[in-house]
Amino acid sequence: MTPDISVQKNSRIYALTARLRERAISILEEAIADRGLPGAAFAVTSGNEILTTGFAGRFTYEADSPEILPETIFDLASVTKVVAGTAMAMILHDREKLDLSRKVADVVPEFTGAGGDHRRRQITFRMLLAHSSGLPAYVRLFEKAHTCEALLHATYNMPLEADPGAHVEYSDMGFILLGEALSRIAGEPLNEFCQREIFTKLQMRNTDYLPPASWRPQIPPTVDDRTFRKRVIQGEVNDENASVMGGVSAHAGVFSNVEDISKFALCILGHGPQLFRRETVKLFATRQSIPADTSRALGWDTPSAPSQSGQYFSQNSCGHLGYTGTSLWIDMERQISITLLTNRTWPNGDNQAVKQLRPKFHDAIMEELLKFQ
């Protein structure tokens, strides 16, 4: 009798998933034992479905702290830049409301700033998305600006550190400006647009800016902030600049879990509900050619050796990292995505062990997946 091919295939997938989960969780547990992070959750998609999810550790290092679960909700930090800011830009581009070559000052005239630096008028939306605007990487604006309006005013008048288009400098400042500009184009706040047009349409039920109080028991703390807010930060954005902005910015502020981020990744890969034209996905996810030697696409990053994505993601891949220890990597060619969410910043952001963890973790998963393919 000929064996049932579907039974054989399902058996192989089950074995693959078991090996993959075992390796991934083992790596996470080792990092937790070394106090590289208190806990983590992950998800892997292959083809048009979520292949598996997994978790390890607790909210904090204390033995009585709540356990991390697949449904645990994390502060995405800069992964916000792709699931909210960049995704909003893609939708507006599809609707012909956003011209990437348009000058940002045409939408935000205040950005011409003080001092008469004519270079500011050269900055386009493409430059903001590609991190080549000339704006600095990061400024602790929250130390002097105590309202959203004051922080935006400081951004509009921030001196450039390079000529627009000449140099790549990954910039939170650029995305703060981008979020304000996109909100003006859309005619509504960033969080309202993203909730309606992205999170709800993809049935990302545990994703939003400004998580309600009822979500707090599912959200691990990110930092014991003893200098700025002087409290444990749990269920509110870790990033201080975003905090001053009320928790809503294109550079940080979204909370989510691994299942929801996997739904977003599947959309980017062309599965499930579709928010973007395929041409738009390709446009935004393709590495830019200017400036030379950049790894940046539009909003997205791409693998460049050595990469936090590890060594196996194809060149036709895109992804993003977050300060709190979050990451999303998507391989368009192999139709694979890996989401890793952690709160490695607890109790403070000094521990950098996640930089060694990420490539090791991604490599282990990709090795198992490539054996099956």
In this prediction, residue 2 carries a pLDDT of 47
Amino acid identity of 176? I
What's the mean pLDDT when you consider all of the chain? 96
Q: Which of 155, 186, 217 finishes a domain?
A: 186
Q: Which of 186, 212, 244 finishes a domain?
A: 186
Torsion angles phi and psi, residue 151, rounded to 5: -70, -40
> Which residues face 353 on adjacent strands?
none
Amino acid identity of 214? S
pLDDT tens column, 189-245 = 999 999 999 999 999 999 999 999 999 999 999 999 999 999 999 999 999 999 999
Do 354 and 322 belong together in one domain? yes
3-state SS, residue 154: helix
| Both structure tokens of 333 | 């060619």
CA distance 159 to 156: 9
pLDDT tens column, 61-92 = 999 999 999 999 999 999 999 999 999 999 99
Reported pTM: 0.96
Do 133 and 219 belong together in one domain? no
- What CATH number does residue 296 fall under? 3.40.710.10
Do 110 and 195 belong together in one domain? no
In percent, the amount of the chain with pLDDT more than 90 equals: 92
Q: State the residue for tokens 């309006």.
A: 149
Residue numbers of the domain that contains 15: 5-86+190-372
> Which residues face 15 on adjacent strands?
none
pLDDT tens column, 342-351 = 999 999 999 9
In this prediction, residue 12 carries a pLDDT of 80
In this prediction, residue 10 carries a pLDDT of 76
Q: Which helix (H) or strand (E) holds 239?
A: none
Do 251 and 352 belong together in one domain? yes
pLDDT tens column, 105-144 = 999 999 997 677 999 999 999 999 999 999 999 999 999 9
Reported confidence tier of residue 35, pLDDT bands at 50, 70, 90? very high
Do 248 and 101 belong together in one domain? no
3-state SS, residue 221: coil
Total domain count, the chain = 2
CA distance 331 to 300: 12
Do 219 and 334 belong together in one domain? yes
